[in-house]
Amino acid sequence: MTDSIPSTTDPVALLQALIACPSVTPEEGGAIALLDRVLGAAGFETHTLVFSEPGTPDVTNFFARIGTGAPHLMFAGHTDVVPPGDVSQWTKGPFEGSIVDGEIIGRGAVDMKGGIAAFVAAALDYLASGQPQGTISLLITGDEEGPAINGTPKLLDWAMARGEKFTAAIVGEPTNPAALGDAIKVGRRGSLSGTVTVRGKQGHVAYPHLAVNPVPQLARLVAAVSAERLDSGNERFQPSNLEFVSVDVGNPAFNVIPAEARARFNIRFNDQWNRDSLDAWLRAQLASAAGNEVDWSLTLETPSSDSFLTHDAKLIKTLSSAIEAVTGRTPDLSTGGGTSDARFIKNVCPVVEFGLVGQTMHQINERVAVADVLQLTQIYKRFLADFLVGNA
């Protein structure tokens, strides 16, 4: 960890310093302490918050704010990173932040210390120029790549309890598939996992008339449910999709008909569904495939996450315009991909996600072009000026 505070409006130096903090989830690694020093020195009110819960690791989180009144923009992100994997495969140390051929290499370069560095530099630039208006907050967790229990949900509860009123939020996750400016995420599909269990009657394979084999029965249910389409998608969302991810019997013997068989599945669903309607749909499908002779049950996991779509036209338009002005690209308004902490933030204010190019995230030699970090900083700065001062 570096003791010198990098030049605060230089996002590249800040990103290198953040990468040098080995904050593999759930370790703080010095990353939040570094943000505390940089933002504290710039006049932000800062709070470092450790949340804990039995059975889960303690997590260090961070909240910083500056300014007064509305509009109040929240920038949300995470300083924790996934493990580097086989370090010998990296061309440069994963916690060095080296620059090679115009790219910064290191774990977290795009997911998402690069987004944080760009936003901090943009915010400090914005505050230094002219007469800033409104309020800027940073809500940073160290628990996005982990269980996400002692992170964003508790940080939001804390912020709401102290009376923060957010107008809108940007999550700085890497949203662009190929080039900076490709896509803003304006929503996400929901996720629901569950298990179908079929109970038979255990017995000797040589005496099948004395047993009931749950394996072919379960196979029939899996095939029937897999063959059904949930919907065909809509203007903003891909079709909802159910995937069976495992079939488990746990029977090591060849001469025993097992008593029970289970199949686990996950559904990624659009805004035409919620947990209750999926529960009803699944039960109807299973009942019709099972008939009377199959003894089946369905359990759904908690928590599940609902889908959401951001309807704040000003937020989306202001960000799109800033992206177009800096990159020349018109971003797609996307709802694809996995889940993020935006699923929690959407409960307190409209939220969109925009950050770097995601191609190398979680990989060996995760890296980002220096030019992309500088352009993302310009995009965020332009957005702040337009959104907070109201030039949009």
Query: Which residues lie near Zn ion (CB under 5 A)?
Result: 111-112, 173
- Cβ proximity to Zn ion: between 84 and 200 the closer is 84
For Zn ion, give the closer residue by CB, 103 or 111: 111
Least separation, in Å, of the C-beta of 360 and Zn ion? Answer: 13
What six digits make up the tokens of 304? Answer: 């599940």
Which CB atom, from 97 or from 142, has the smaller least distance to Zn ion?
142
What separation in angstroms does the CA of 311 have from each of 78, 186, 238, 240, 317?
A: 25, 8, 18, 20, 11
**SS3 (DSSP) at 162:** coil
Considering the complex, what minimum distance in angstroms separates the CB of residue 172 from Zn ion? 9
Question: Shortest Cβ distance from residue 288 to Zn ion (Å)?
Answer: 41
Catalytic annotation present for 45: no
Listing from the earlier edge strand, what are the strands of the sheet with 45-53?
A: 45-53, 56-67, 135-141, 72-78, 168-171, 351-353, 183-185, 332-334
Q: Is 144 a catalytic residue?
A: yes
- The least distance separating Zn ion from the CB of residue 171, rounded to whole angstroms, comes to 9
Nearer to Zn ion, 25 or 327 (CB): 25
Tokens in use for 246?
């495992």
The minimum distance between CB 144 and Zn ion, in angstroms, equals: 5
Taking the least distance from each CB to Zn ion, the nearer of 61 and 213 is 61
Decide the pairing of beta strands 190-199 and 260-269.
antiparallel
Whose tokens are 């177009």? That residue is 324
Enumerate long-range contacts of 40-48, CB under 8 Å, 24 or more apart.
Answer: 40/64, 41/5, 41/8, 42/8, 42/66, 42/124, 42/127, 43/127, 44/138
Residue 205 sits at φ, ψ, to 5 deg, of: -65, -25
Record the tokens describing residue 55, joined without a space: 């059975």
> Which residues are the active-site residues?
80, 144
